[in-house]
Amino acid sequence: MSYFKHHVFFCTNQRAPGETCCNARGASELRNYAKDRIKALGRAGPGKVRINSAGCMDRCDHGPVLVVYPEEVWYTYIDKEDIDEIVDRHLLGGQVVERLKI
């Protein structure tokens, strides 16, 4: 068994102004939102969920992006409602959110 049930990596890469990147589309803010929500739900820590930042994950055209391990499921998202759906359905409920999957 892995140290965390789910390990979530948010691409928060910032490129030069005018270049496509996840951070220019709100990735850091939504990563912080996800981390705070997981903590508020009591689901953070060993054996539970870990939310991390990552550098460029080479999926800029789909951005912003995150990946959930150990399932290796890649998601795109737009707003807090999308993050809530990923948290509720995938991280808590064990179901892949097909509409956001890359």
For residue range 78-91, what is the model confidence (pLDDT) as tens digits?
999 999 999 999 99
The CATH number that domain 6-100 falls under is: 3.40.30.10
pTM over 0.85: yes
For residue range 32-50, what is the model confidence (pLDDT) as tens digits?
999 999 999 999 999 999 9
Beta pairing partners, 10: 53, 66
For residue range 49-99, what is the model confidence (pLDDT) as tens digits?
999 999 999 998 888 999 999 999 999 999 999 999 999 999 999 999 999
User: Distance between CA atoms of 37 and 18, rounded to whole angstroms?
Assistant: 31
Calculate the dihedral angle through the C-alpha atoms of 3, 5, 102, 84, rounding to the nearest 10 degrees: -130
pLDDT of residue 1: 62
SS3 88: helix
